[in-house]
Amino acid sequence: MKICLFVSGHVRTLLYKFYENIELIKNTLDDCEIDVKYSFWDDYNLGGRMNDPWHIQSVNFTQPKISTEVIDNYFLSHGVNNVQGEIESTNVMNEVLSKTNFLPENSGRNVLSSQYYKKYRVTEKYFNNDYDFYVQIRSDVIINNFLDNDSILNLINKKLLVVNKFYWYNEPYCGGDCNEMISCSGKQIFKDFNQLYLSEKYISQQLDYHYGERVTGRHINNLIEKSVIDNVLVFDFDYRVIR
């Protein structure tokens, strides 16, 4: 089985323990090959808050000097077959954010458009039909569960999206707000799902309050209404965010 991981946004703690995700997937699936596609910003700060028990503090981790060579070698040294990626200037990020259609969150932060741009960018640049299964995952996320062979084989040729069981800590997905850290599907819908950036204006007009989980949930429901996605399945990836 050929799996492709799409990783985008900020590098964060990618080089700390992301390799554990690769090991877990390989140990869960029989005869599995993994490729990686990435698109990162050239902002290498760790950042982030310890919001809930899903968040774990990295231990004695110092961000090394980052380059595409460093990232490529990291993935290849941890069992990835092939890797393609880029690092974009934060000048592009600032331009994207200057044109955002979303309102600031209660915290005052307004960075949604940059993450949706990156998810769009990495799939637009590197997506192809060579894989059986596609995974979108954030760079600072460590998963402890992954779908088995039978589960994947039952959905790869269908228009089914798999999302995390919980959209927030202990808050289950019920067809509305949806977790953004990890999702996966077969080739039929993966690219469409990661094109939220192209629909930002429309989605912003559908909602009176804009935060990531709500925007993502609305995007999914729009795709269901258009018959792009037939159904959404939940799976407990049991992830943790590493700060």
| Tens digits of residue pLDDT in 50-65 | 777 888 899 999 999 9
Residues 95-106: tens digit of each pLDDT: 999 999 998 877
Residues (pLDDT < 50) of the chain are none
The predicted structure's pLDDT at residue 46: 85
Spatial contact of 102 and 207, defined as CB atoms under 8 Å apart: no
Quick one: fold of 2-242? Spore Coat Polysaccharide Biosynthesis Protein SpsA; Chain A (3.90.550)
The owner of tokens 């269901």 is 224
Spatial contact of 232 and 35, defined as CB atoms under 8 Å apart: no
The predicted structure's pLDDT at residue 20: 98
The predicted structure's pLDDT at residue 151: 97
The predicted structure's pLDDT at residue 52: 79
* Single pTM value for the model: 0.96
DSSP 211: -
The predicted structure's pLDDT at residue 108: 66
3-state per-residue secondary structure call for 109-152: CCCHHHHHHHHHHHHHHHCCCCCCEEEEECCCEECCCCCCHHHH
